[in-house]
């Protein structure tokens, strides 16, 4: 070596295999040791033999050398290591071995500032270090200029593969501790029941042992049959050194598909997103030594070609020589590469082998980053549904949840730290409720509902919580749209081509049908297929797992489909993708996708089906031609890859994902004319598209709304002509003038949001102005207003000093006509016909600015305020307030709906506010709302007083009669209640609430027959008000109507399968009728499906003792 190799290098070892490679540069290097702490680590010879040109140096010695300027260059290998050496007086390199996204997952969630501090540290380090990334993906993740040096493998040091042990090898250290990267549950699901060996330090993985030496590791690569590699592309490359070394030995690799994987499926290894497919590859390799050797040898050549040791050594030598100043070499710092835009999706569905959600997951993963969440369907439930073992592998979601109503909260609590998302995507899996917290989620919310043909209305209620809704059945799009779902689109089901065998199979089955024949789905399908089976003995009719289904269809000449409720089901697309002829009954909009007689064949009754099967079995050419065209159409337009593209394009079109950064999932001095007002953005409701910005200034706020919140149309009003001209460049339409006397050219109900950003205080009559714009706001649209807080401590201070100085800007701006406080803003909004949803302080002075004394008193100038509450203290420090208020429609039906919603949500404060909103409705409605608030707060006497006064004035009002009757029941006055309720009954026909009230009143009077009559009229037809069901059951039992009681409980449990209260009520009923064993079986089955719940478990324990 020349003089240039006389370089004094300080580096550190946190990864023996990588340092083993760096030693091949032949530079002498000092390996700095840390004596204690997280960076403390001595060389582990069981991982690699320590090269002679690497010398371990004690901490005190290398620190002294650094201090004296001994080293020409320092090479750090992680951020804490780099931070420690940031002041070293020599050139410095930082090697980034992990994605920054993954490192954030390791930071403590309890420290809310940890991620911000980490980002700031990275920003600082990028100024004092040159960065070296071990992959292009990692550089893209950091988004920092630097060198990229891919790992290098000396293929000649490896080889020797025999694969003599039919066993799978998995290699990695602390995989559970780094589970976001390695997904151990996925690995274990793929390997379950197969022979495997795990090598590495993994205290949480049974039987995992580290290698005793490098030779021991090499022997494991050489002797085991195949290698399973799993790294999630959201957090890691599609390879690591262990995988590359296995390939260099000639060992075949089966790998989770990954954007940067060197594996080409079926060529130099096997890869897939589907755990069942990965398992099939492993089983093939375990049983076929020849295939294993062929694949392994091609993998070895891949390493030789893509990861040569010579290139690794050459790049590192050039970097070290250049930065140490010893030589000028020809090596460039790379700008971060441009990878295709990958959206980050939080995908929510119930995990099971046959759910549609998994196909969306696989298709999304091809081009995007996906984290899944949801409940894992237990094997016991699959068995109950008629599926047979062995079950294909289906690991739990990345963030597993229960089926509890608060399942989304579980998701949010367990998200990877620091991870951001572009949107949340829920795929229908049979649940009928959403977590209420969904309404607070701050990213676009997208849903795909499949089973609207079975239960449209529960899905409709769920849809109200989402920004964008897709439906599998086109006929329901109009219903959802008419019910107020703004963005609703048809998205048919599809096929997943990767499910099907690569090779052509002999079509040795005449006719097949794979699917359910459950009696719950009616006799029509079962009888139809029974007839098909009788006529055509060479058939397959029954259930199978998806990959087996794909093989059955690929062997079939004809696939028969029978829809339930006219639905366009997935079997249509699955059959077509297999190349079989599909003969199906008419289904929802199927004629818009496929042509009868050309791509599919339709039948209209049982006889027609039999005749067409007979015909096409005897006319091969026609059958094959139609099947061919059907397959071509399905693969060209109807795969889940197409559906994902449609979802992404739609979400992007509405929310402009490309123009905004992905968001962390959360539950949640002014420039006169040009402020973008970023502090107001969090208060703007998601999904608003048409906005009127009053006092728009130069239009920068409106422009921000278009760019960051995807507003489609923003109009502005500005009083200053010169400023309005500037605004015209930023907004869609600008009017110049004073809003108080300007005639507005807009249609009624044309805006989702009207904003008054620091405007109301400038108006002569802000109340009338708010009333004026109300007609232009859509029903349930919004007003956003910000005001300077006249209650601010600085204003009070002036008053204590006998001063009142207007200024050019600020709270006492000379142009401010009306000075408004928080409570004043709330009152003015209600008088104008709006319901204040949020009134919140912004721009708050720190506590250090006006500190409270220990006794909670506050001194402002010459004034001392005692016993100051936290809320009052905050109000005095708030420089501004922002309010979001909603336009409440004047029609009574919408108002009643809103009242009921607020009662269900127990939002009594907002309900009281609603009673004070100035609406064009009868005054008795407002008083009745106040009565409801008193009643739900427990003040029944006050509620009675209000209703009594109202009925004196409106004695025949049926709604007042009903509401007062219900109140009297709560007050245990059934006789009086019945009088009012029967008066209401004369005017209200078949009202569920009234019927239940009468039932309860008669029950209080112990008139069980009449109580039963009214209860039965409700619960024989409706599933509403399940919370009152126990009363009905007690009446049935008292009247010895046990069959009705039991059948009713069963029906409700089928409708609300996860309802804990109903499950307990049914069990307790069974106990009361001496069916304790059945009660125990029922509760045990409930816990097997929905997990252990304390109340259920306690009841089970009691029952076990009783049964024993």
Query: Do 44 and 64 contact (CB within 8 A), yes or no?
Result: no
pLDDT average, residue stretch 44-64? 95
What is the band of 672 on the pLDDT scale with cuts at 50, 70, 90?
Answer: very low
What's the pTM? 0.63
CA atoms of 910 and 891, how far apart (whole Å)? 19
Number of domains in the chain: 5
More confident residue, 2 or 1035: 1035
What is the band of 459 on the pLDDT scale with cuts at 50, 70, 90?
Answer: very high
Is residue 266 in a domain?
Answer: yes
Structure token digits, residue 723 = 């400023």
1088 vs 381, 382, 406, 407, 651, CA distance in Å? 8, 12, 19, 17, 37
pLDDT average, residue stretch 1036-1060? 91
Q: Mean pLDDT lowest for which of 141-145, 417-421, 643-647, 764-768?
A: 417-421
Q: How many residues does the chain have?
A: 1108
- C-alpha closest to that of 434 among 443, 421, 422, 447: 447
Mean pLDDT, the chain, whole residue set? 90
SS3 32: strand
CA atoms of 786 and 150, how far apart (whole Å)? 53
The percentage of residues in the chain with a pLDDT greater than 90, rounded to a whole number, is 62
Residues 219-268 have pLDDT tens digits of 999 999 999 999 999 999 999 999 999 999 999 999 999 999 999 999 99
485 and 350 together in one domain: yes
Domain boundary (148, 174, 203) is at 148
378 and 477 together in one domain: yes
Residues 839-858 have pLDDT tens digits of 998 877 767 556 777 788 88
pLDDT of residue 889: 79
Residue corresponding to tokens 């108006």:
763
Q: Give the CB-side neighbour count of residue 505, counting CA atoms within 13 A.
A: 18
Work out the angle at residue 276's Cα, subtended by the Cα atoms of residues 283 and 234, and round it to the nearest 5 degrees: 115
691 and 803 together in one domain: yes
Is residue 914 in a domain?
Answer: no
Residues 505-518 have pLDDT tens digits of 999 999 999 998 87
Q: Mean pLDDT lowest for which of 403-412, 660-669, 919-928?
A: 660-669
Spatial neighbors of 99 by CB under 8 A, at least 6 apart, are: 137, 138, 141, 142, 235, 236
Predicted confidence (pLDDT) at residue 385 exceeds the cutoff of 80: no
Query: Do 727 and 697 contact (CB within 8 A), yes or no?
Result: yes
Spatial neighbors of 835 by CB under 8 A, at least 6 apart, are: 829, 885, 886, 888, 910, 913, 914, 917
CA atoms of 159 and 246, how far apart (whole Å)? 9
Is residue 1087 in a domain?
Answer: no
pLDDT of residue 994: 93
Q: Specify the pairing of strand 423-427 against strand 344-348.
A: parallel
Angle formed by the axes of helices 940-953 and 923-936, nearest 10°? 160
548 and 621 together in one domain: yes
Predicted confidence (pLDDT) at residue 499 exceeds the cutoff of 80: yes
196 and 257 together in one domain: yes
Q: Mean pLDDT lowest for which of 44-53, 324-333, 765-774?
A: 324-333
What is the band of 325 on the pLDDT scale with cuts at 50, 70, 90?
Answer: confident
pLDDT of residue 113: 60
Is residue 1030 in a domain?
Answer: no
CA atoms of 569 and 562, how far apart (whole Å)? 9
Residues 780-808 have pLDDT tens digits of 899 999 998 888 887 887 787 777 777 65
pLDDT of residue 989: 77
288 and 365 together in one domain: no
Query: Do 15 and 172 contact (CB within 8 A), yes or no?
Result: no
Residues 693-741 have pLDDT tens digits of 999 987 888 998 988 888 999 999 998 886 788 788 889 999 999 999 9
More confident residue, 907 or 290: 290
Is residue 789 in a domain?
Answer: yes
pLDDT of residue 667: 39
pLDDT average, residue stretch 936-949? 91
570 and 626 together in one domain: yes
Predicted confidence (pLDDT) at residue 1106 exceeds the cutoff of 90: no
CATH number at residue 27: 3.40.50.2000
Q: Where are the alpha helices (DSSP H) in 887-991?
A: 892-904, 908-915, 923-936, 940-953, 958-970, 974-985
Is residue 503 in a domain?
Answer: yes
Is residue 1100 in a domain?
Answer: no
Q: Say how many C-beta atoms besides its own lie within 10 A of residue 1056's C-beta.
A: 17
Which residues are bridge partners to 199 per DSSP?
A: 171, 209
Predicted confidence (pLDDT) at residue 522 exceeds the cutoff of 70: no
Structure token digits, residue 546 = 């998806």
Structure token digits, residue 91 = 């050139």
Q: Say how many C-beta atoms besides its own lie within 10 A of residue 1040's C-beta.
A: 9
pLDDT of residue 332: 65
429 and 527 together in one domain: no
504 and 480 together in one domain: no
Compute the chain's Rg from CA coordinates. 35
pLDDT winner (highest mean) among 601-610, 989-998, 1079-1088: 601-610
CATH number at residue 443: 3.40.50.11720
Spatial neighbors of 413 by CB under 8 A, at least 6 apart, are: none
Predicted confidence (pLDDT) at residue 409 exceeds the cutoff of 60: yes
Predicted confidence (pLDDT) at residue 597 exceeds the cutoff of 90: yes
377 and 445 together in one domain: yes
Is residue 660 in a domain?
Answer: no
Residues 898-918 have pLDDT tens digits of 888 888 888 888 888 888 888
557 and 581 together in one domain: yes
- C-alpha closest to that of 915 among 892, 890, 933: 933
Predicted confidence (pLDDT) at residue 388 exceeds the cutoff of 70: yes
pLDDT average, residue stretch 850-876? 82
Predicted confidence (pLDDT) at residue 3 exceeds the cutoff of 50: no
- Burial-class residue 979 by CB neighbours within 10 Å (0-12, 13-18, 19+): middle
- C-alpha closest to that of 825 among 746, 900, 770: 770
Q: What are phi and psi of 390, to 5 degrees?
A: -80, 145
180 and 101 together in one domain: no
Domain boundary (109, 129, 148) is at 148
pLDDT average, residue stretch 1019-1033? 90
Query: Do 588 and 473 contact (CB within 8 A), yes or no?
Result: yes
Predicted confidence (pLDDT) at residue 333 exceeds the cutoff of 80: no
195 vs 206, 224, 225, 291, 1001, CA distance in Å? 14, 10, 10, 18, 68
Give the structural domain span for 533. 499-638
Q: Mean pLDDT lowest for which of 566-580, 610-624, 807-821, 822-836?
A: 807-821
Residues 802-842 have pLDDT tens digits of 777 776 556 777 778 888 888 999 999 999 989 999 999 88
More confident residue, 382 or 61: 61
pLDDT average, residue stretch 545-565? 95
Which residues are bridge partners to 601 per DSSP?
A: 583
Q: Say how many C-beta atoms besides its own lie within 10 A of residue 635's C-beta.
A: 18
Residues 658-671 have pLDDT tens digits of 765 555 454 332 23
pLDDT of residue 783: 96
């Amino acid at each position: 070596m020349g003089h240039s190799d006389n370089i004094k290098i300080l580096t550190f070892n946190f990864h023996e295999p990588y340092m083993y490679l760096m030693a091949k540069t032949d530079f002498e290097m000092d390996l700095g040791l840390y004596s204690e702490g997280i960076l403390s680590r001595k060389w582990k010879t069981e991982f690699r033999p320590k090269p002679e040109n690497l010398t371990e140096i004690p901490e005190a010695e290398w620190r002294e050398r650094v201090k004296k300027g001994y080293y020409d260059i320092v090479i750090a290998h992680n951020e804490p290591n780099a931070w420690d050496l940031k002041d070293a007086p020599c050139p410095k390199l930082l090697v980034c071995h992990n994605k920054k996204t993954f490192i954030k997952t390791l930071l403590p969630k309890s420290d809310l500032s940890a991620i911000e501090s980490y980002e700031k540290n990275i920003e600082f380090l990028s100024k004092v270090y040159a960065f070296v990334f071990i992959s292009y993906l990692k550089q893209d993740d950091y988004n920092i200029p630097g060198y990229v040096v891919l790992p290098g493998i000396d293929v000649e040091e490896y080889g020797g593969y025999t694969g003599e042990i039919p066993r799978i090898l998995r290699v990695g250290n602390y995989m559970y501790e780094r589970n976001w990267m390695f997904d151990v549950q996925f690995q274990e699901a793929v390997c379950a029941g197969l022979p495997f060996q795990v090598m590495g330090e993994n205290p949480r993985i049974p039987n995992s042992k580290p290698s005793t030496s490098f030779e021991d590791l090499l022997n494991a690569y050489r002797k085991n049959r195949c290698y399973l590699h799993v790294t999630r592309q959201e957090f890691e490359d599609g390879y690591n050194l262990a995988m590359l070394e296995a390939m260099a030995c000639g060992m075949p690799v089966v790998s989770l598909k990954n954007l940067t994987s060197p594996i080409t499926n079926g060529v130099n290894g096997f890869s897939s997103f589907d755990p069942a497919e990965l398992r099939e590859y492993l089983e093939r390799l375990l049983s076929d030594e020849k295939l294993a050797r062929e694949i392994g040898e091609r993998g070895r050549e891949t390493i030789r070609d893509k990861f040569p040791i010579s290139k690794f050594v050459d790049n590192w030598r050039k970097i070290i020589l250049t930065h140490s100043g010893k030589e000028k070499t020809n090596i460039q710092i790379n700008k971060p590469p441009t990878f295709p835009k990958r959206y980050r999706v939080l995908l929510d569905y119930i995990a099971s082998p046959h759910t549609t959600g998994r196909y969306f997951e696989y298709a999304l993963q091809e081009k995007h980053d996906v984290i899944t969440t949801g409940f894992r369907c237990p094997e016991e439930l699959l068995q109950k549904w008629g599926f047979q073992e062995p079950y294909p592998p289906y690991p739990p979601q990345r963030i597993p949840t229960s089926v509890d109503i608060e399942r989304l909260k579980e998701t949010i609590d367990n998200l990877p730290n620091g991870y951001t998302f572009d949107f949340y995507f829920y795929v229908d899996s049979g649940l009928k409720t959403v977590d209420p917290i969904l309404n607070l989620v701050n990213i676009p919310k997208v849903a795909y509902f499949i089973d609207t043909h079975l239960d449209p209305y529960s899905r409709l209620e769920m849809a109200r919580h989402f920004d964008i809704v897709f439906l599998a059945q086109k006929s329901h799009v109009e219903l959802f749209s008419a019910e107020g779902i703004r963005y609703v689109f048809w998205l048919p089901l599809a096929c997943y081509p990767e499910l099907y065998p690569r090779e052509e199979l002999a079509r040795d089955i005449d006719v097949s049908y794979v699917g359910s024949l459950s009696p719950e789905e009616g006799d029509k399908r079962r009888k139809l297929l029974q007839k098909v089976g009788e006529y055509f003995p060479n058939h397959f009719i029954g259930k199978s797992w998806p990959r087996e289904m794909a093989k059955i269809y690929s062997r079939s000449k004809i696939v028969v489909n029978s829809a339930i409720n006219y639905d366009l089901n997935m079997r249509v697309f699955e059959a077509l993708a297999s190349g079989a002829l599909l003969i199906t009954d008419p289904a929802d909009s199927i004629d818009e996708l496929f042509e009868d007689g050309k791509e599919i064949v339709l039948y209209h009754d049982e006889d027609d089906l039999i005749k067409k099967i007979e015909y096409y079995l005897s006319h091969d050419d026609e059958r094959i031609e139609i099947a061919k065209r059907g397959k071509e159409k399905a693969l060209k337009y109807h795969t889940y890859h197409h559906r994902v593209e449609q979802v992404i394009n739609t979400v992007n079109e509405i929310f402009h994902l490309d123009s905004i950064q992905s968001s962390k999932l959360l539950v949640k001095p002014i420039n006169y004319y040009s402020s973008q007002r970023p502090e107001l953005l969090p208060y703007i409701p998601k999904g608003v598209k048409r906005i009127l910005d009053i006092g728009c200034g130069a239009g920068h706020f409106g422009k921000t709304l278009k760019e960051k919140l995807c507003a489609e149309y923003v109009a502005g009003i500005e009083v200053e002509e010169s400023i309005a001209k500037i605004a015209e460049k930023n907004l869609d339409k600008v009017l110049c003038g004073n809003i108080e006397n300007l005639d507005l050219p807009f249609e009624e109900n044309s805006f989702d949001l009207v904003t008054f950003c620091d405007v109301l205080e400038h108006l002569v009559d802000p109340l009338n102005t708010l009333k004026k714009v109300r007609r232009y706001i859509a029903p349930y649209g919004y007003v956003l207003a910000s005001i300077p807080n006249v209650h601010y401590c600085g204003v009070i201070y002036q008053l204590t000093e006998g001063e009142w100085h207007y200024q050019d800007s600020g709270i006492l701006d000379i142009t401010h006509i009306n000075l408004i406080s928080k409570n004043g803003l709330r009152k003015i909004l209600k008088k104008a016909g709006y319901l204040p949803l949020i009134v919140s302080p912004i721009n708050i002075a720190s506590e250090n600015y006006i500190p409270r004394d220990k006794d909670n008193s506050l001194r402002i100038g010459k004034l001392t305020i005692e016993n100051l509450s936290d809320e009052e203290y905050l109000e005095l420090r708030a420089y501004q307030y922002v309010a979001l208020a909603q336009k409440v429609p004047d029609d009574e039906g919408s108002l009643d709906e809103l009242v009921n919603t607020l009662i269900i949500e127990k939002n009594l404060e907002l309900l009281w506010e609603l009673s004070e909103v100035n609406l064009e409705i009868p005054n008795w409605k407002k008083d009745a709302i106040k009565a409801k608030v008193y009643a739900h707060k427990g003040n029944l006497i006050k509620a009675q007083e209000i209703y009594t006064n109202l009925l004196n004035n409106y004695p025949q009002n049926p709604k007042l009669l009903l509401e007062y009757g219900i109140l009297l029941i709560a007050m245990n006055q059934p006789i009086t209640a019945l009088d009012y309720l029967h008066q209401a009954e004369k005017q209200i026909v078949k009202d569920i609430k009234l019927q239940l009230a009468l039932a309860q009143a008669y029950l209080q009077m112990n008139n069980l027959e009449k109580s039963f009559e009214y209860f039965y009229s409700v619960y024989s037809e409706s599933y509403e008000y399940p919370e009152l069901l126990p009363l009905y059951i007690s009446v049935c039992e008292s009247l010895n109507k046990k069959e009705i009681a039991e059948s009713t409980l069963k029906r409700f449990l089928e409708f609300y399968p996860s309802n804990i209260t109903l499950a307990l009520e049914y069990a307790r009923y069974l106990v009361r009728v001496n069916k304790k064993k059945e009660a125990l079986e029922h509760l045990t089955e409930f816990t097997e499906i929905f997990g252990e719940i304390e109340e259920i478990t306690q009841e089970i324990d009691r029952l076990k003792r009783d049964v024993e």
